[in-house]
Structure 1
Amino acid sequence: MTDNNYTSKNIKVMKGLEGVRARPAMYIGSTGIQGLHHLVYEVVDNSIDEALAGFCDYIKVTITTEGEVEVEDNGRGIPVEMHQEMKLPALQVVMTMLHAGGKFDQESYKVSGGLHGVGVSVVVALSEYLEVKVHKDGKIYYQRYERGKAVTDVIEIGETDRSGTIIKFKPDSTIFETTEFSFDYLTARLRELAFLNKGVRIILRDDRTGREHDFKYDGGIVSFVEYLNQNKKPLSPKPLYIEAKRDDLEFELALQYNEGYQENIFSFANNINTLEGGTHLSGFKSGLTRAVNTYIKNADLLKNEKVSPSGDDIREGLTAVISVKLKNPQFEGQTKTKLQNSDLEGIVNSVVYEKLLTYFEEHPAEAKAITMKSIMAARAREAARKARELTRRKSVLESSSLPGKLADCTITDPSKTELFLVEGDSAGGSAKQGRDRSFQAILPLWGKMLNTEKARVDKVLNNDKIQPIILAIGAGVGQDFDVSKIRYGKIIIMADADVDGAHISTLLLTFFYRYMRPLIEHGHVYIAKPPLFMVRKNKQVKYVFTEEERDEAIKEFGEKGVFVQRYKGLGEMNPEQLWETTLNPENRLLVAVKMDDAIEADRIFTILMGDEVEPRRDFIQTNARYVQNLDI
């Protein structure tokens, strides 16, 4: 029975960092893999703030063999003297108290990413232990914390001829779902920071594997755009760079168009990747659209056109990086994915408009290439609109608005359903017979799949191999795609383990990445891994995925009388075998398609499916040694 007496005894006051440990997601977004890596970003952001203030140009991040992360910089070092108000060493105040730090003192940091002053103290709270060493004024100072509490005093442990801070921590396994750090996750963020802070050297080292990256870009965000476009065909020799200063605002923009059809824009505020954009991004888009349309009007380029370019048309093939640095950024929440400073939009809009018009006047060849590309995109958009209408009319006419080859499932709850995209009619037929009809749908694929890396959206919508996939998934495509409307929680690519199968898988992944990216971002895409061998002796049967596993199974059964079948394709399996090995959730092996690094993902899709041959050859030669059991 519930006690109805609600008194002062029911009011709990959490001291120190207890509140952070009780509700960690409020501070770092989640206790999953993203929240885990957010701890590293909070520590690194402090070093970056030292770089922004002009006192640091070297940062090293190390993943240790013990599962710790160590962040070292050559900044000024956190102050260690006694804090007059708190009667504790300043180092301990910074490390163990929320809303304490130099970010609130306008003289120490004019611009800061860690604005809220909760960063490093949250890391202390959520770590099994954290150790800090401060090199300052010729001395080395040390303190250790365990689960949010200092367990040593600030002590002097040696002498030094340098300055800086070294923080090493191990996340608390009782709080996080996983405590294993990803080299690739960290690579993405640290590469960004190196681009955004020209001249700062950032090293990432993984002692578990020996992998290491050494980032330093003297060109800043211009180097960033060149990196993003390095395997594409640009429309101008160099990226356009725009910078402006207004009071406490610093604005930087680098942009370059390429011959492709994808928009690739990254926005940052005080070095933080604003994944959901904000006023700086909307200001840029408005200024760009105004500038291009003004130039088109002044040059009278639309006299014979029935359509005029929209913002989406104008951004086709655009690669851009926007970076703003301001004193008092207003973000949505602690994880800071959207910037909300209202005055920023008009400032950025005006700067971009004026600078772009000047650029167009001074570079008529580039201006013509960009504007004509926008007009072509507008034509394609109109063709795509007609294709969508045709697709919708076709959907209404067709039974259940679904493609004829789709064998649908009976359950309609997406959280419980699966769609298998199966290479070939033969394997598709076996899959239809072998599946569990209640929750597994089968869509056979046939013929040559379109390379969507080289196609505008109108060609994609009109393609008879892709239309059935769009209809089956049921959530639209491109700008209209809405991940909340998907009909299946798992989209599973099932192709042969040979060169053709690998090509089909890559074509499908390219399509999902370019036109249904939220499917990948939200973890809905998988690749089925059918076995390569069946090993049988009498009634004993084992399905295995590698030659080593095959040899082990032969030894286990005894070599005499053992029958081995190698599956060269899915079509060689009967329905029962396909269910047992590839469809049955209890036995099958699925590979989840993740996107830890959007920049690297974009680069690799461009290499694999774009026009440039040389980068693709280099990629294949570099990575061929990692391929296993590919049947050529």
Structure 2
Amino acid sequence: MAKEQEAGMFSYNEDSIKSLDWKEHIRLRPGMYIGKLGDGSSPDDGIYVLVKEVVDNCIDEYTMGHGKSVEISIDNKQVTVRDYGRGIPLGKVVDVVSKINTGAKYDSKAFQKSVGLNGVGTKAVNALSNYFKVTAVREGKEKTAEFERGQLTREHKETATKESNGTMVTFVPDDTIFKNFKFHPEFLENQIWNYCFLNAGLKFVFNGKSYISKNGLLDLLQKKTNEDEIRYPIIHLKGNDIELAITHNNDYGEDLYSFVNGQHTTQGGTHQQAFREAYVKTIRDFFKKDYDASDIRTGIVAAISVRVVEPVFESQTKTKLGSTNVDINGPSMRQFMMDFLTKELDNYLHKNPTLAEALKKRIEQSERERKDMAGIKKLANERAKKANLHNKKLRDCRYHLNDEPPVKNREEFIARQQETTIFITEGDSASGSITKSRNVDTQAVFSLRGKPLNSYGLTKKVVYENEEFNLLQHALNIEEGMEGLRFNNIVIATDADVDGMHIRLLLMTFFLQFFPDLVKHGKVYVLETPLFRVRNKQETIYCFDEAEKQKAIKKLGGKPEITRFKGLGEISPNEFAQFIGEDMRKQMMRVEEGDHIQQLLEYYMGKNTMDRQEFIINNLKVEIDEAVEEAN
């Protein structure tokens, strides 16, 4: 055996070393370049990253003073992005979108504060698209090149044109990589609004509708908050390479939206941490009182935007800033933020004493609430610490979102972090099926015992008094806010019956009541599992609703066997693996713009029984007949 190993499968020689060209590497390891793949049901799925990579180039042109509008259109699965900047130099049109490390962004003079510096973005889009076309227009001439999966298929000759300068990119994501994908307009709209807020005056046109912001981050915070729920008018501060908007509401936790060079850093980074520290110090100094940091930041809603020379991000998807300095030879991010807030926020509070008083009352309210539950919190945390050693409720996974990535295989590690998921299940049978079929590297399971408490109207004390809520809080690691969150996706997995729906509502209430920032930042989902299995001897089809069942029956013909799954526990682990893998269907829990969280909770989870009863009666629908009709 030893000789066979030496000569055969365990040998290590020149033949063991393989070199992939840029296209092959991107297609083999797409997660390293665009994060998770997904099907478009989450705002951070790969298809939206592809759009972002193309639009980022348009933004960089605008930042450098070229072009005042960007047009985006999506027709089914085809995306077209047109800017009116300078246009790619015609002789380099092919190279810029197909040769790694080719671009203008290595020269800091040309792109001082660009979003992307590594020359990978559009190449990744090209490699991961069934079809990719780029057209550059410069001074009355245009040049077009077409590609399939990164391979050049046609290079057009330069021709004369009357079109305005700029670049147009059209692409169709590769459906062998992004399986069953679909663009959801609301996610793209949110992405476009962020671009508008960060580039006041830049006009976007998306599928014929115009988007523009005049007041930058002030507009963003007005869109993200409700005027009658905030404690004082929004503070809006601007300086060289920095813009802030700050207010407080009555929610628990911190709701921070941070950006670097126009990039939404959904996982924060050095700039967000610097803001948190500098804000606390400035408030303490202003009020001349050593408030607890958590009291100062509880209920804060803030947007932070900085511009950095040659930013260093934690990964190619640029969701977390790693740069410690604002400029190569400039101040540290921490000092830069401290200097700005110490001067500008302090001045603002001195000039607006009524606002400062409202801020002080909010801080002192948090202080009273924290002290009120200090004793129970200490006992609960001690219990949770002991439970964590033998926590039967949590089957953990190997990777976590808050792990420090290693130096070796860093990009691949970060890509796995994006996939980290915790399933919150009801009962042992359901959690058993998921536990046996899950990916132990990236998927954890938390098992509930029966129905959780209705937490509407209760204070955060209940999170510590209720053992199940406290253990869930510790499993997620969100006691101190989102920064330590251990999983990128929190998926509620309950039966599709009345009890299961009730448990979903109770868990949603828990998150909205005590951790609304998780919902606002798109971290909470509901798992969709099949209701029916339709099969004959040749084929098995899983159906998620009545319409799909009717189509399956029609497709298979005859009299196929039909199974109705009453609960998750009835689905075998082998079957379940299909529904929590690459093709997992899940719905993101979203708060619509303008929704008042407390009003929503009061209506659906409060004591207005007659109002709800009337609503249910007036909105009852029989969907089976409609589904049958649709299938036919």
**When the two structures are superposed, what TM-score results if normalisation uses the length of structure 2?**
0.71
Take 1:582 and 1:360, find their aligned partners in 2: how far apart are those partners? 55
- Three-state SS of the structure 2 residue aligned to 1:111 is coil
Cα deviation 1:203-247 (Å, max 9, x = unaligned): 333xxxxxx75321111111001111136522223x2121222xx
Residue 341 of structure 1 pairs with residue 324 of structure 2: yes
Q: What pairs up with 1:481-560 in 2 under 5 angstroms?
A: 491-493=492-494, 505-512=504-511, 514-515=514-515, 526=526
1:326 partner SS = coil
Q: Sort the Cα spacing of 1:117 and 1:596 in 2 relative to 1 into closer, same or farther, 3 A.
A: farther
Deviation at 1:319, TM superposition (A): 1.3
**Cα distance change on mapping 1:469 and 1:601 into 2, 3 Å:** farther
Equivalent position amino acid for 2:211 in 1? F
Contact 1:434 1:579 in 2 (8 A): no
Residue among 40, 50, 65 paired with 2:51 = 40
What residue in structure 2 maps to residue 383 of structure 1? 372
CA shift for structure 1 position 48: 0.9
Assess if the C-alpha contact under 8 Å between 1:457 and 1:478 holds in 2: no
CA-to-aligned-CA distance 1:470-489 (integer Å, 9 cap, x gap)? 44786267425876599x99
1:102-125 residue CA offsets vs partner (Å, 9 max, x unmatched): 212344333211221221122222
Counterpart of 2:278 in structure 1 is 287
Q: What letter matches 1:29 in structure 2?
A: G
The amino acid that maps onto 1:337 is T
Question: CA deviation digits over 1:29-55, x for unaligned, max 9?
Answer: 344452332211110101111111122
Matched, 1:468 2:468: yes
Measured after TM superposition, the shift of residue 315 of structure 1 is 1.5
Question: Matches of 2:210 and 2:620 in 1, distance apart?
Answer: 23
Q: Does residue 313 in structure 1 map to residue 308 in structure 2?
A: no
One-letter amino acid of the structure 1 residue matched with residue 51 of structure 2:
V
Q: In structure 2, how many angstroms separate the alpha carbons of the residues matched to 1:434 and 1:118?
A: 41
Structure 1 position 215 matched with structure 2 position 211: yes
Q: Does the Cα contact within 8 Å between 2:429 and 2:568 map onto a contact in 1? A: no
Shift of 1:252: 0.9
Give me the whole-angstrom Cα distance separating, in 1, the residues matched to 2:476 and 2:430.
29
**1:243 — aligned with what?**
238
Contact 2:422–2:487, Cα closer than 8 Å, also in 1: no
8 A Cα contact 2:203 2:210, kept in partner: yes
* Structure 2: distance between partners of 1:332 and 1:437: 31
Distance 2:352 2:221 in 1: 19
1:214 is aligned with what amino acid?
S
| Residue 93, structure 1, aligned to residue 82, structure 2 | no
Q: Given residue 228 of structure 1, which amino acid in structure 2 is its aligned partner?
A: K
Give the aligned partner of residue 25 of structure 1.
Answer: 31
Q: Which position in structure 1 is the counterpart of 2:608?
A: none
What do the CA deviations read for 1:299-331 (whole angstroms, capped 9, x no partner)?
xxx6xxxxx522221112221111111222122
Unaligned stretches of 5+ residues in structure 2: 1-7, 40-44, 326-331, 399-420, 437-444, 533-542, 554-562, 605-610, 625-632
Letter in 1 for 2:103: G
Distance 1:625 1:112, change over 3 A: farther
RMSD across aligned positions (CA): 4.8
Partner of 1:458: 461
SS in 2 for 1:375: helix
Alpha-carbon distance in structure 2 between the residues aligned to 1:583 and 1:77: 57
1:258/1:213 Cα in 2 relative to 1: closer, same or farther (>3 Å)?
farther
Q: What's the secondary structure of 2:136's corresponding residue?
A: strand
CA distance in structure 1 between the aligned counterparts of 2:146 and 2:385, rounded to whole angstroms: 67
Contact 2:525 2:586 in 1 (8 A): yes
The 5-angstrom pairing of residues 291-302 of structure 1 reads 291-297=282-288
Separation in structure 1 between the aligned mates of residue 22 and residue 267 of structure 2, nearest angstrom = 32
C-alpha displacement of 1:578:
10
Unaligned runs of 5+ in 1: 81-88, 206-211, 303-307, 403-407, 423-430, 533-542, 554-576
Whether the 8 Å CA contact 2:138–2:166 is kept in 1: the answer is yes
- In structure 2, the CA distance between the partners of 1:583 and 1:25, relative to structure 1 (3 Å rule), is closer
Which residue in the other structure is 1:254 paired with? 245
- Deviations along 1:80-139, one digit per CA (max 9) or x if unpaired, are 1xxxxxxxx211221221122221234433321122122112222222221112233223
- CA 176–97 in structure 1, closer or farther in 2 if over 3 Å, else same: same
Hey, what's the Cα distance between the residues in 2 that align with 1:414 and 1:365? Answer: 49
Aligned to 1:558: none
Closer/same/farther in 2, CA of residues 15 and 386 from structure 1, 3 Å limit: same
Aligned to 1:226: 222
Matched, 1:479 2:479: yes
Report the Cα distance in structure 2 between the residues aligned to 1:396 and 1:166, rounded to whole angstroms: 56
Indicate the residue corresponding to 1:564 in structure 2. Answer: none
1:468–1:276 CA distance, 2 compared to 1 (3 A): closer
Superposition deviation, residue 18 in structure 1: 4.0
Q: 1:178 to 1:548 in 2, by over 3 A?
A: closer
Provide the aligned length of Structure 1 versus Structure 2: 539
Structure 2 equivalent of residue 563 of structure 1: none
- The alignment status of 1:60 with 2:71, answered yes or no, reads yes
Alignment partners' CA distance in 2, 1:418 and 1:102: 44
Identity across aligned pairs (percent)? 24
